[in-house]
Amino acid sequence: MVASTLSEVARLAGVSPATASRVLNGSARTPGQDIAERVRAAAESLGYVPNAQAQGLAKSSSGLIGLIVRDIADPYFAAIARGVQEAAREQGRMVLLATTAGAPADEREAVAAFAARRADSIVIAGSRSARPEDDEGNSELAAELDRYCRNGGQVAVVGHAVVGASSTEGYHVVTVPNEELAVKLAAELAVSRYGHYVIIGGPAGLFTSDDRIRGFQRGLAAAGLPPAEIIRTEFNRSGGFEAGVALAARIRASQEAGNTAGDAKRICIFAVNDVMAIGAAAALRSEGLRIPRDAIIAGFDDIETLRDFRPALSTVHLPLEEIGRQATRRAAGMIGEEAAPSTITGHVTLRRSTEGVLPSEGISRMSSTDS
Amino acid sequence: MVASTLSEVARLAGVSPATASRVLNGSARTPGQDIAERVRAAAESLGYVPNAQAQGLAKSSSGLIGLIVRDIADPYFAAIARGVQEAAREQGRMVLLATTAGAPADEREAVAAFAARRADSIVIAGSRSARPEDDEGNSELAAELDRYCRNGGQVAVVGHAVVGASSTEGYHVVTVPNEELAVKLAAELAVSRYGHYVIIGGPAGLFTSDDRIRGFQRGLAAAGLPPAEIIRTEFNRSGGFEAGVALAARIRASQEAGNTAGDAKRICIFAVNDVMAIGAAAALRSEGLRIPRDAIIAGFDDIETLRDFRPALSTVHLPLEEIGRQATRRAAGMIGEEAAPSTITGHVTLRRSTEGVLPSEGISRMSSTDS
DNA sequence: GCGAACTGGGAAAGCGCATTCCCACTGATG
DNA sequence: CATCAGTGGGAATGCGCTTTCCCAGTTCGC
């Protein structure tokens, strides 16, 4: 990558580099009209493209925002990424992407790389974890983040704070009310008491998953129901599918034992995210079971691409794009911390996959077939 | 963003900056063991993070790959992005993301921004367009790309070459056999001759859409069928939905006119991408029509997230991740141009949404419920 | 009409690093 | 013992740009 430099432009225009710089970038001092015109013409004819690296070096700031996601092809993260991208654009910055398969060690590496590139801020959307095997990685990640913040970097984490991060300066958390919303979902699903509640969750230690599980259990308890059984599996579609296969066998057995498929006996499945719910639903279907006839199921996230799925999936709507936007804005210092600690809200959205549940007041029954 | 510098490390270690540089980065000359150790220790204790901008400036290369997509939340682009990200990682580079709502002007801007950042290569995945209103934008984009290539940049475009780009140096195109695959799809769908073939396409001028339309028509013609009717709409889910609503009314009318729903009378819909197909399917369903009973439908892309959709969507599988990977590798000069002009292949995948069509030899009938 | 306050442009000093020279020193060679 | 190649470290330069400082030319005030 070579290109014409500012000095070349200046020489062609017959001015000093300083003047050229002042013309070509919004400096406080604006040179005279005629000179400015000459410089601009020279730049144009030379096809001058400013070297952002040199600019960044000179004024120590890069106009870069680092984004860390677990998997950019996962619609959950893709939606957040869109919000981040949008906010970055507002700020006139570009986003630098890093994906980590959920491994804190990779995240640490990504943070270091962002720090090396002198990214102005970093948005971390990969899920936080407290699994024992991640302990070491987490503390290293925390150390790296602390260092980054100490050097003046801004960090925004979606969901939960990074375990062990202690920096107070420049460290922001966009809280997602996973637990509270799961409580509400459980409350809705508890209205018509099902025979059995099952939660398909991710590995123990994944905050997002654990919070949702905890909230759901609380909601059931508040309704006077016993805690749901928990199936731990992978935090993705195939995890949901596997759990679904296992559940299908049990539902079958139960049905053959003579139980009818009435509400009182139907099993109610809560998958901690939509993708897992879809996987589970696919498994039930492949085993010849029907939703909501043989079992009802709900997910979490309200992934856009999945809205046309049939039976329409009951879920908890989360403003993913807004989450990304807000994290990015906060990291840019555009949102006062105390002014709005966290304005992320979601809502329970009951659809056909939990048919039979009577929606209580305040919960809108949304159709998803509207274009 | 301030941070400790190489000189500070050098001073602490009691060596010259040159030596410190040689130790901390894989230079050709490796200083002595003891010195190296001292420098590393100093770097560690200072929490030294090399300034990639300065490094880039000094050796004029940035380790950055620019990626342009239309919308990162669109599963099609998200999948490509994953491949790009993966390949970038292989190369030890980071990806810089830009989204443009399909506007060539935005793409031009993104290319300029990448050039300013001295990105080593650029991957363009946004769809190429030849619409008259994009003419100006396209030629500016082409000029910008030419300049970038002339300065030594590498460009890989997914699908079609940018209209007007003339640089031969460093300009790569990863061809996607849209037309050929659409021919094959049409051939399959022509086996049991339907009453009427309809294509739901994007706006005229969008290459991806136009290629697929052309291919489909060619396939029909080869089978001795008259060309399909074409409905132009937006290149996204809601475009598909709208077209679906219009089609539903006609199907309804036809049915009420006394036509039975036999193969000979069923309408066959080809939406030029999966997302549009899903939209159309949702529209038909909301109008009380059933697939494949009242109409059969096929899409294109084989989007992963959509595989659990019911009725399972017949489509053309495209190795999206591989496309992203290959584009990235090619732009990095890791794939000989002549050696493999384009190794992207896809295949027709018939599923339940086109039930009634007898698959011919060589086309595997894939189930999508396998986990 | 003369000094003071501006104005607008240029010279130069970095920003943090890689790299090319250059030099002092070592050990081998004749 | 003198010479030479070889080794390992440092000084210095430059990557392309911003910005401070400086200076000559103007305009203003009294």
Contact B129, B138 (CB under 8 A): yes
> In what side-by-side order are the strands of the sheet with A171-174?
A171-174, A154-158, A121-124, A64-69, A94-99, B94-99, B64-69, B121-124, B154-158, B171-174
The pLDDT tens digits of the residues spanning B176-202 come to: 999 999 999 999 999 876 678 999 999
Half-sphere exposure of B39 (CA within 13 A, CB side): 22
Count of other CB atoms within 10 angstroms of residue A51: 23
pLDDT at A155: 94
Strand pairing report for A347-349 and A315-317:
antiparallel
> Among all strands, which nt has the closest C1' to B57 (CA)?
D15
Give the Cα separation of A182 and A214 in Å (integer).
8
Nearest CA in chain B to A58: B54
Chain Cα centroid distance, residue A37: 46
Pick from A52, A153, A241: CB nearest B371? A241
pLDDT at A214: 97
pLDDT at B260: 55
Give the Cα separation of A350 and A338 in Å (integer).
33
Query: Which residues on chain A are in Cβ contact (under 8 Å) with B73?
Result: 75, 78-79, 81-82, 304, 321
Q: Which nucleotides of C are covered by protein (CB under 7 A)?
A: 8-12, 14-20
The vertex-B319 CA angle with B317 and B320, nearest 5°, equals: 110
Q: Which two tokens stand for residue A12?
A: 């062609």
Half-sphere exposure of B135 (CA within 13 A, CB side): 2
The distance in angstroms from the start CA to the end CA of chain A is 46
Half-sphere exposure of B179 (CA within 13 A, CB side): 10
Nearest to B4, CA basis, from A143, A152, A151:
A151
3-state SS track over chain A: CCCCCHHHHHHHHCCCHHHHHHHHCCCCCCCCHHHHHHHHHHHHHHCCCCCHHHHHHHHCCCCEEEEEECCCCCHHHHHHHHHHHHHHHHCCCEEEEEECCCCHHHHHHHHHHHHHCCCCEEEECCCCECCHHHHHHHHHHHHHHHHHHHCCCEEEEECCCCCCCCCCCCEEEECCCHHHHHHHHHHHHHCCCCCEEEEEECCCCEHHHHHHHHHHHHHHHHCCCCCCEEEECCCCHHHHHHHHHHHHHHHHHHHHCCCCCCCCCCEEEEECCHHHHHHHHHHHHHCCCCCCCCEEEECCECCHHHCCCCCCCEEEECCHHHHHHHHHHHHCCCCCCCCCCCCCCCEEEECHHHCCCCCCCCCCECCCCCC
Percent residues over pLDDT 90 in chain B: 66
Those residues with Cβ within 8 angstroms of residue A369's Cβ, 6 or more apart along the chain or in another chain: A308, A312, B282, B283, B285, B286
Please give the helix or strand (H or E) that residue B171 lies within, else none: strand B171-174
The partner residues of B230 in beta bridges, in order of sequence, read B199
What is the pLDDT of chain B when averaged over all its residues? 88
The partner residues of B339 in beta bridges, in order of sequence, read none
SS3 B302: coil
**pLDDT higher than threshold 60 for residue B131:** yes
CB contact under 8 A, B53 and A47: no
The CA distances from residue A217 to A133, A193, A266, B298, in Å, are: 26, 14, 18, 42
The pLDDT tens digits of the residues spanning B205-256 come to: 999 999 999 999 999 999 999 999 999 999 999 999 999 999 999 998 887 7
pLDDT at B221: 96
Distance, Å, A26 CA → C20 C1': 36
Instruction: Using CA atoms of A214, A218, A220, A221 in order, give the dihedral in degrees to the nearest 10.
Output: 130
> Among all strands, which nt has the closest C1' to B13 (CA)?
D9
Distance, Å, A46 CA → C18 C1': 28
CB contact under 8 A, B118 and A51: yes
**pLDDT higher than threshold 50 for residue B371:** no
CB contact under 8 A, A57 and B61: no
Nucleic strand C within 7 A of Cβ B43: no
The identity of residue A290, as a single letter, is R
Within chain B, what is the greatest distance between any pair of CA atoms?
A: 94
Nucleic strand D within 7 A of Cβ B29: yes
The partner residues of A129 in beta bridges, in order of sequence, read A206
Out of B8-12, B61-65, B273-277, the most confident range is B273-277
Query: Which residues on chain B are in Cβ contact (under 8 Å) with A78?
Result: 72-75, 78
pLDDT at A329: 94
DSSP state for residue B236 in the 8-state scheme: S
Higher-pLDDT residue of B46 and A341 is B46
What radius of gyration, in Å, describes the C-alpha atoms of chain A?
Answer: 26
Nucleic strand C within 7 A of Cβ A29: yes
SS3 B328: helix
SS3 B189: helix
CB contact under 8 A, B321 and A151: no
Give the Cα separation of B160 and A129 in Å (integer).
42
The CA distances from residue B37 to B20, B33, B42, in Å, are: 10, 6, 9
Nearest CA in chain B to A371: B238
Q: Which nucleotides of D are covered by protein (CB under 7 A)?
A: 8-12, 14-20
Task: Give me the sign of the Cα torsion angle B10, B13, B16, B22.
Answer: negative
Query: Which residues on chain A are in Cβ contact (under 8 Å) with B95?
Result: 96-97
Contact B222, B147 (CB under 8 A): no
The pLDDT tens digits of the residues spanning B272-290 come to: 999 999 999 999 999 999 9
pLDDT at A365: 45
Out of A129-143, B82-96, B148-162, the most confident range is B82-96
Higher-pLDDT residue of B28 and A309 is A309
Task: Give me the sign of the Cα torsion angle A355, A361, A363, A365.
Answer: positive
Pick from A53, A85, A285: CB nearest B53? A53
Q: Which two tokens stand for residue A352?
A: 């056909």
Average pLDDT score over residue span B83-112: 94
Give the Cα separation of B291 and B314 in Å (integer).
11
Backbone φ and ψ of A286, nearest 5°: -70, -20
Nucleic strand C within 7 A of Cβ B264: no
A117-136 as b/e: b if 16+ CB within 10 A: bbbbbbbbbbbbbeeeebee
Contact A27, A21 (CB under 8 A): yes
Nearest CA in chain B to A321: B73
> Among all strands, which nt has the closest C1' to A9 (CA)?
D16
pLDDT band at B107 (very low <50, low <70, confident <90, very high): very high
pLDDT band at B32 (very low <50, low <70, confident <90, very high): confident
Instruction: Using CA atoms of B299, B301, B302, B305 in order, give the dihedral in degrees to the nearest 10.
Output: -100
Q: What is the pLDDT along chain A (371 residues), one digit of tens a residue?
A: 678 899 999 999 999 999 999 998 877 777 788 888 999 999 999 999 999 999 999 988 899 999 999 999 999 999 999 999 999 999 999 999 999 988 889 999 999 999 999 999 999 997 788 888 888 999 999 999 999 998 889 999 998 888 777 767 788 999 999 999 999 999 999 987 667 899 999 999 999 999 999 999 999 999 999 999 999 999 999 999 999 999 999 998 887 776 554 545 789 999 999 999 999 999 999 999 999 889 999 999 999 999 999 899 999 999 999 999 999 999 987 776 555 566 899 999 999 999 875 445 444 444 444 44
Give the Cα separation of A197 and A296 in Å (integer).
10
Contact B62, A67 (CB under 8 A): no
- Provide the number of CB pairs (under 8 Å) joining chain A to chain B: 185
Pick from B82, B153, B241: CB nearest A371? B241
Task: Give me the sign of the Cα torsion angle A270, A275, A280, A284.
Answer: positive
* A232-241, A277-286, B112-121, B261-270: the lowest-pLDDT one: B261-270
Distance, Å, A111 CA → D28 C1': 57
